[in-house]
Amino acid sequence: MSEWTPDITKLARFDDAEWLKVESAFCGRLMAYASRRVRDRQAREDVVQETFLGAVRGIEAFDPAYTFEQYLFGICRNRTIDHLRRNKLVTLGDNAQSDEDAVTVEDLASVDETPSRIARQRDLSETGVRMLADLLRAWVEETWTQGEFARLMVVEALFSGAWRNRDTWERFDLRDETSVAGIKFRALKRLRELAQERDTQKRVLPWLTAAVDGREGLDIDVQRVWREGRVSCPARHWIARRIAGTLPEGPAAFLAFHLDEMKCDWCRANLDDLSGLESASELESVITRVGASTLQLLRSRTQKGGAD
Ligand SMILES: [Zn+2]
């Protein structure tokens, strides 16, 4: 069961029909994401509308290293941050609940790093970030296929959650902290093997080697690469099966952990969307309104030959 993905070539040609399909496919999950951050309904709709307009404007520079959903979610997060920042002065003077909102903006902004920004900060080139995301994804897939969900959760807790060994040991009922260190070590070793096969440019391999040899910690921002790259995010059909209650034990435990403990924003947005929190008729009217504004932009693009 694979999910529909749009034809990027058609989108880059500003094809009306393809863009409208994008809107019906993704509107629900974007609204669900915005709902967790933006209280006002009209403002949420604006965020989603601006997201689609931003997607149209940026489509010619679409980077095929990422999925279309990642592209769209990235824009949606930025529009959400913009909205929260614009409203910060108002909400700050409001009440205690609003202070929480202010924190949320900063939390949100702190994970809002494009791969190129991570690269600049950590001296890891953009191709290095991609390589690392690629290696992590390969490791996750392999571990998932082997049915080693406990191992997957432990490594996600360490790498993505930045949990301490002690907390991880307690949460997963492991023998002791050494078991946690052992799982981490074996994951690093396997990542290094994968890097030896794939990282021919040696963008990440030196770090992995140093970490495996115990010379230093893994001095790259694995947490951000893991989260930004969504390396462990299950495909949407797994989330649908969770709602239906038809997941096998291992994936069920992992999804619960990923959604409830790692609190992955995007998987939660998919969960809310698939759970139908938004009524179908409400969503339909949002799609219609948002679609109208997108069509207007598309028309101006095609008439002026894509110029701004
Ligand atoms: Zn996720």
Q: Model confidence over 29-86: pLDDT tens digits?
A: 999 999 988 989 999 999 999 999 999 999 999 988 788 998 999 999 999 988 988 8
In angstroms, what is the span from residue 94 Cα to ligand 1's centroid?
A: 33
The token pair at 4 is: 């529909």
In angstroms, what is the span from residue 8 Cα to ligand 1's centroid?
A: 23
In angstroms, what is the span from residue 263 Cα to ligand 1's centroid?
A: 8
Residues 6+ apart with CB under 8 A from 55: 22, 71, 72, 75
**Closest CA relative to residue 223, chosen from 151, 121, 73, 87:** 121
In angstroms, what is the span from residue 237 Cα to ligand 1's centroid?
A: 13
In angstroms, what is the span from residue 86 Cα to ligand 1's centroid?
A: 27
Which of 142-151, 171-180, 184-193 has the lowest average pLDDT? 171-180
In angstroms, what is the span from residue 228 Cα to ligand 1's centroid?
A: 10
In angstroms, what is the span from residue 269 Cα to ligand 1's centroid?
A: 9
In angstroms, what is the span from residue 194 Cα to ligand 1's centroid?
A: 23
Question: Is the confidence at residue 1, as pLDDT, over 70?
Answer: no
In angstroms, what is the span from residue 239 Cα to ligand 1's centroid?
A: 10
> What's the pLDDT at 304?
58
In angstroms, what is the span from residue 60 Cα to ligand 1's centroid?
A: 26
The pLDDT mean for the chain works out to: 85
In angstroms, what is the span from residue 147 Cα to ligand 1's centroid?
A: 18
Q: What is the 3-class SS of the chain, one letter each residue?
A: CCCCCCCHHHHHCCCHHHHHHHHHHHHHHHHHHHHHHCCCHHHHHHHHHHHHHHHHHHHHHCCCCCCHHHHHHHHHHHHHHHHHHHCHHHHHCCCHHHHHHHHHHHHHHHCCCCHHHHHHHHCCCHHHHHHHHHHHHHHHHHHHHCCCHHHHHHHHHHHCCCCCHHHHHHHCCCCCHHHHHHHHHHHHHHHHHHHHHHCCCCCCHHHHHHHHCCCCCCCCCHHHHHHHCCCCCCCHHHHHHHHHCCCCHHHHHHHHHHHHHCCCHHHHHHHHHHCCCCCHHHHHHHHHHHHHHHHHHHHHHHHCCCCC
**Cα angle: 31, vertex 6, 64; to 5 degrees:** 100
What sign has the CA pseudo-torsion 5, 7, 11, 17? Answer: negative
Question: Is the confidence at residue 144, as pLDDT, over 60?
Answer: yes
> What's the pLDDT at 66?
82
In angstroms, what is the span from residue 301 Cα to ligand 1's centroid?
A: 34
Q: CA–CA separation, 183 vs 172, rounded Å?
A: 12
In angstroms, what is the span from residue 229 Cα to ligand 1's centroid?
A: 10
In angstroms, what is the span from residue 67 Cα to ligand 1's centroid?
A: 14
In angstroms, what is the span from residue 260 Cα to ligand 1's centroid?
A: 10
Q: CA–CA separation, 45 vs 286, rounded Å?
A: 7
Exposed/middle/buried for residue 137 (C-beta within 10 Å: 0-12, 13-18, 19+): middle
> What's the pLDDT at 104?
58
**Closest CA relative to residue 234, chosen from 208, 261, 213, 257:** 257
> In angstroms, what CA-CA distances link 137 with 58, 68, 79, 195, 228?
26, 17, 27, 12, 12
In angstroms, what is the span from residue 103 Cα to ligand 1's centroid?
A: 22
Question: Is the confidence at residue 162, as pLDDT, over 50?
Answer: yes
Residues 6+ apart with CB under 8 A from 233: 258, 264, 266, 267
In angstroms, what is the span from residue 262 Cα to ligand 1's centroid?
A: 8
In angstroms, what is the span from residue 286 Cα to ligand 1's centroid?
A: 25
**Closest CA relative to residue 31, chosen from 83, 90, 76:** 76
In angstroms, what is the span from residue 266 Cα to ligand 1's centroid?
A: 5
pTM, 2 dp: 0.80
In angstroms, what is the span from residue 157 Cα to ligand 1's centroid?
A: 13
Winning range, highest mean pLDDT, from 77-81, 95-99, 274-278: 77-81
